[in-house]
Structure 1
Amino acid sequence: MGPASTHAVAGESELSKTVGGLTVYLGVVPAEIVKGLPASSTTERPMHGRIPKGPHEYHLVAAVFDATGGTRISDAIVTAQVSGLGLSGSKMKLEPMQISGTTTYGGFVDLPGLDIYTVKLTVERGGAAPAVLQFKYDHRR
């Protein structure tokens, strides 16, 4: 058995990380799934201000929790940087979304090729040091 830090990482799924007192769950789904969702009213704008059009667009969703008490965090600023192998990607702010009375953060991202993507999330909350979490997303299937 390796060092304690290696053991802790091995116990987490690839899309769940705990850093700086926060636990973040990351989800990546084809944008097609959310594109067809009906708006709750005729005046509601499309999710994240636009309707995804590209064939390689995906919806990135992050749920942020306090690692100690398990309460959901709804007052954070969450940014994402998605990069293919050996490339640096652009940063984007994930928008807060209300789903069944709870807050998650989301945005559309283009994943053009079969690759292992690095998703770097930065979670900022007033007064606390930003928490940086790095996920690997295998998009080769």
Structure 2
Amino acid sequence: MLLAALPALVVAAVPRHATALDPEGAFRQAGGLAIYLAVVPAAVIRGHPPEHTGRGLHGGAPEGRYIHHLLVALFGARTGARVTGAGVTAVVHGLRHMPEARIALEPMTVGGAEAYGGSATLPARDYYRIEIEVLRPGSAAVKAVFPHRHFQP
């Protein structure tokens, strides 16, 4: 009887805002694009050997506390083909710690494919809204919003 009730107890114990924070994960579909976002601590990049793809990104990972690397990959929503040659900007809004920051994401190669990346300062224990803006020649601007919660002490 207790084993049968356990899944319901686990679901009930999870705060509602935690499950609703980002039900879609790090993927959004907008304007005919499939947009993926990864937020990686810069220390991870600094800790890789020099020959690792990404170690020399954008002049290397900056030093400092709370520095993260934003990585965006773009695909055609219908075709699944990688989208290249776009202008990509991240607009980061923090609930508590920071004013809006606009970060131009630079083209980069990850695993032999083009992606876009740049560094952002994300102080700990805050909720963020990261807007990704994509400009492609001959197309309307596309925006996708990703919530991000940062727990690093």
- TM-score category (smaller protein): 0.7 to 0.9
Q: Of residues 62, 66, 73 in structure 2, which corresponds to 1:52?
A: 62
Once the two structures are superposed, the pairs formed by residues 51-90 of structure 1 within 5 Å of their partners are: 51-85=61-95, 88-90=99-101
Aligned AA for 2:95? L
Q: Which runs of 4+ in 1 moved over 3 A?
A: none
Give the distance between the partners of 1:65 and 1:125, measured in 2 at CA. 12
RMSD: 2.2
TM-score by length of 1: 0.82
Work out whether residues 41 and 69 of structure 2, in 8 Å CA contact, stay in contact via their aligned partners in 1.
Answer: yes
* 1:41-73 deviation digits (Å, cap 9, x = unpaired): xxxx93212432112101110010100100011
Give the distance between the partners of 2:74 and 2:111, measured in 1 at CA. 15
Q: 2:12 aligns to what?
A: none
Give the distance between the partners of 1:100 and 1:131, measured in 2 at CA. 25
CA drift of 1:74 comes to 1.3
Q: Of residues 99, 102, 109 in structure 1, which corresponds to 2:120?
A: 109
Identity %: 38
1 or 2, which has the higher helix percentage? 2
Count of matched residue positions in the alignment of Structure 1 and Structure 2: 128
| Structure 1 unaligned blocks of 5 or more | 1-11
Give the distance between the partners of 1:71 and 1:57, measured in 2 at CA. 31
